[in-house]
């Protein structure tokens, strides 16, 4: 069987200080409630959003100029100014990308720097906390509008902002030929996130939010983005709390040398090889060509945040160990069976079937055999594979796919998460959780997995956001969702999570599962933390 760490498809004027948006009636019709709208005046101009029974939503607000033409591979520029009232009832285009996970959609657009704001419909006595969501997707996929903020906004009485940022090569290509006058290139996606956070600081009050109480939160690559912003000098003061889901600051980002090497290889694949004309060639390339060249994870094109000396002066992992991160309270956690999603992708690829699919065939979904499990471990861990197999022997009571999922979860997620959480706890108030709903709703798109995927990577998202890609929550899961919404928004409001913080001898990791979520476990033992901590040293 071919060993692939990731299958190709498996994979974000001053404001008028109003405490609540003004609601105005639209044209009189039989469906007056549907046509009613909310108007808010931002520092760029007025926007008209939509009104639902319990919340207001403003979509497709441009927080920066479209990064087109000479602004491709340039820092984000201040957004447009308009007169009149701009329609904000539909999302803006997603940034250029291939099709990733079921929540993602392909796009060829570079005009994509938009954000969305969701607020409770009720008036507030005081400004509400603001939560700014950075979506995941391996820095290749995703958009802000796929995550409806009404569950958090209404359930937690907060303002929720979701946003797009440039992805893949268009967001992170660090080619020297594209460098500005300061010699810096790459990290444009991170700069987009900072531009959105500056927009929030200027405009939060107009939506009833508190610009002095902003929480930045993200999942997967979004959590890596939060780590990067914690280490980014330009992000200082733009947020006051941080939530990281299913990724940690313990995993290093690219070095400049590696990023430049990847960028030069990328240019060659695009066909831009003449040294004197590389920049012009890349700038003239069709965005679809750039997206296709970047490809999927595992295709050899590592595009993401880079230590560039300015946006990221140092690696966030190094900044964590040396205390050079912005000192804000942290809520961090992971899902109990993170990597079962990757293993499901392996099954979906069909490469472990007796007859691997031909290029023009839709692959079957075949479970791993015991021998294939051992082959995968040997391919991934080389001459130390037997140590891994000794700690993770095949259990006849579980499918081989689940066992491989445990190996990858503990190595790729549990050890980095727990190490980073304990490092945070030595410096700032830190609260840790493990999402563990064994029956979390799975994607509605694609065939059913051949094994229980449990609390897989992305499984917690339907508990926090309104999404249309997953099965409906059961009544028990709705109670867990209510608990998580209350926890996330209480943390945004107070900097506390409602359970003991890490540090000072405490290793408390809150388990979120079951009827509302409760309890703790010996996280280190359950995920063989000691073994993996020594394994990678």
Residue pair 192/171 in contact by the 8 Å Cβ criterion:
yes
According to the model, what pLDDT value does residue 349 have? 79
414: Cβ contacts below 8 Å, ≥ 6 apart: 334, 523, 527, 528, 529, 532
Cβ distance 175 to 272 under 8 Å?
Answer: no
Q: Say which range, 307-311, 344-348, 362-366, 372-376, has the weakest mean pLDDT.
A: 362-366
Range in 6-10, 124-128, 199-203, 240-244 with the lowest mean pLDDT: 6-10
The per-residue pLDDT for 503 is: 87
Catalytic one among 107, 220, 246, 349?
Answer: 220
Pairing of strands 22-24, 37-41: antiparallel
Rg of the chain taking only CA atoms, in angstroms:
23
CA–CA gap between residue 532 and residue 526 (Å, rounded)? 12
- Residue 399 has what DSSP assignment? -
pTM of the predicted model as reported, rounded to 2 decimal places: 0.92
Token duo for residue 193: 């996130």
The closest alpha carbon to 189, from 202, 173, 205, 209, belongs to: 173
In the annotation, is 481 catalytic? Answer: no
Q: How far is CA 127 from the centre of its chain?
A: 27
Identified catalytic residue from 107, 225, 338, 481: 338
Residue with tokens 């959780």: 433
Whether the CB-CB separation of 168 and 291 falls below 8 Å is answered with: yes
For residue 395, with 0-12 CB atoms within 10 Å meaning exposed, 13-18 middle and 19 or more buried, which class applies? Answer: exposed
> How many Cα atoms occupy the beta-carbon half-sphere of 365 within 13 Å?
11
What is the greatest pairwise CA distance in the chain? 73
Average pLDDT score over residue span 490-503? 95
What pLDDT does 518 receive? 62
Q: Give the pLDDT score at 287.
A: 95
Cα distances from 500 to residues 329, 439, 505, 508, in angstroms, run 13, 27, 11, 6
Tokens 């760029």 correspond to what residue? Answer: 44
Only one residue has tokens 């079937």, namely: 353
Q: How confident is the model at residue 18 (pLDDT cuts 50, 70, 90)?
A: very low
Alpha helices in 437-521 (DSSP H): 461-464, 475-494
Q: What is the pLDDT of residue 395?
A: 86
Let me know: does 137 contact 164? Beta carbons within 8 Å: no
Q: Angle at CA 4, nearest 5°, toward 247 and 417? A: 15
The pairing of strands 46-51 and 85-87 is parallel
Average pLDDT of the residues in 399-408: 96
Q: What is the C-alpha to C-alpha distance for residues 383 and 37, in angstroms, rounded to an integer?
A: 63
Alpha-carbon gap, residue 228 to 230, rounded angstroms: 5
Contact between residue 217 and residue 132 where contact means Cβ atoms under 8 Å apart = yes
Element at 241 (helix H, strand E): strand 241-245
Closest CA to 286 of 271, 302, 264, 303: 271
**Residue 501 confidence (pLDDT):** 94
339 in active site: no
Residue range 176-205: mean pLDDT, rounded:
94
**Residue 156 DSSP symbol:** H
- Mean pLDDT over residues 454-462, rounded? 96
Confidence category of residue 417, pLDDT binned at 50, 70, 90: very high
Residue 300 — very low, low, confident or very high, per pLDDT cuts 50/70/90? Answer: low
pLDDT cut 70: percent of the chain above it: 91
- pLDDT at 271 > cutoff 60: yes
Q: Do residues 43 and 203 lie in contact, with contact meaning Cβ atoms separated by under 8 Å?
A: yes
62-92 confidence digits (pLDDT tens): 999 999 999 999 999 999 999 999 999 999 9
Judge whether residue 267 has pLDDT over 70. yes
Catalytic residue check, 338:
yes
Q: Which helix (H) or strand (E) holds 120?
A: strand 114-120
Query: For residue 31, what pLDDT is reported?
Result: 41
Torsion of Cα atoms, 399 then 404 then 406 then 411, to 10°: 180
Q: Which residue among the candidates 457, 460, 481, 527 is catalytic per the annotation?
A: 457
The mean predicted confidence, pLDDT, of the chain is 89
Average pLDDT over residues 261-273: 94
């Amino acid at each position: 069987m071919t060993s692939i760490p990731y299958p190709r498809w498996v994979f974000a004027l001053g404001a008028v200080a109003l405490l609540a948006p003004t609601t105005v009636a639209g044209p009189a019709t039989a469906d007056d409630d549907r046509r009613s709208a909310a108007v808010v005046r931002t520092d760029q101009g007025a926007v008209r959003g939509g009104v639902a029974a319990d919340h207001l939503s403003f979509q497709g607000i441009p927080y920066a100029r479209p990064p087109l033409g000479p602004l491709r591979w340039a820092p984000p520029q201040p957004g447009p100014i308009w007169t009149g009232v701009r329609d904000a009832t539909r999302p803006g285009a997603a940034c250029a990308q291939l099709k990733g996970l079921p929540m993602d959609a392909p796009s060829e657009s570079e005009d994509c720097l938009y954000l969305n704001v969701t607020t409770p419909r009720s008036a507030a006595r005081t400004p509400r906390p603001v939560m700014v969501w950075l979506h995941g997707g391996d820095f290749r996929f995703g958009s802000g509008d796929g995550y409806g903020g009404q569950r958090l906004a209404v359930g937690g009485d907060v303002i929720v902002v979701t946003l797009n940022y440039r992805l893949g090569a268009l967001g992170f290509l660090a080619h020297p030929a594209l460098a500005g006058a300061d010699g810096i290139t790459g990290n444009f996606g991170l700069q987009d996130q900072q531009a959105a956070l500056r927009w929030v600081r200027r405009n939060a009050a107009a939506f009833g939010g508190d610009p002095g109480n902003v929480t930045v939160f993200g999942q997967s690559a979004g959590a890596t983005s939060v780590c990067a912003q914690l280490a980014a000098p330009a992000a200082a003061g733009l947020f006051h709390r941080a939530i990281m889901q299913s990724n940690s600051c313990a995993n290093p980002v690219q070095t400049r040398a590696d990023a430049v090497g990847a960028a030069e290889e990328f240019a060659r694949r695009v066909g831009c090889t003449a040294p004197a004309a590389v920049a012009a060639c890349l700038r003239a390339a069709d965005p679809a060509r750039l997206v296709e060249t970047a490809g999927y994870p595992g295709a050899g094109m590592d595009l993401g945040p880079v230590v560039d000396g300015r946006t990221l002066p140092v690696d966030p992992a190094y900044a964590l160990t040396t205390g050079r991160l912005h000192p804000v309270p942290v809520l961090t956690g992971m899902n109990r069976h993170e990597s079962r999603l990757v293993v499901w992708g392996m099954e979906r690829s069909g490469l472990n079937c007796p007859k691997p699919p031909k290029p023009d065939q839709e692959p079957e979904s075949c479970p791993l055999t015991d021998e294939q499990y051992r082959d995968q471990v040997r391919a991934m861990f080389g001459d130390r594979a037997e140590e891994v197999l000794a700690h993770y022997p095949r259990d006849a009571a579980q499918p081989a796919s689940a066992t491989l999922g445990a190996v990858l979860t503990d190595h790729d997620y549990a050890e980095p998460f727990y190490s980073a959480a304990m490092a945070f706890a030595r410096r700032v108030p830190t609260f840790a959780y493990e999402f563990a709903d064994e029956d979390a709703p799975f994607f509605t798109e694609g065939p059913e997995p051949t094994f229980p995927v449990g609390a897989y990577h992305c499984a917690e998202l339907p508990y926090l956001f309104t999404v249309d890609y997953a099965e409906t929550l059961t009544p028990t899961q709705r109670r867990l969702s209510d608990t998580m919404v209350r926890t996330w928004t209480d943390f945004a409001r107070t900097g506390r999570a409602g359970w003991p913080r890490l540090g000072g001898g405490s290793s408390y990791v809150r388990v979120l599962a079951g009827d509302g979520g409760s309890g703790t476990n010996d996280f280190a033992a359950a995920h063989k933390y000691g073994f993996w901590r020594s394994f990678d040293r």
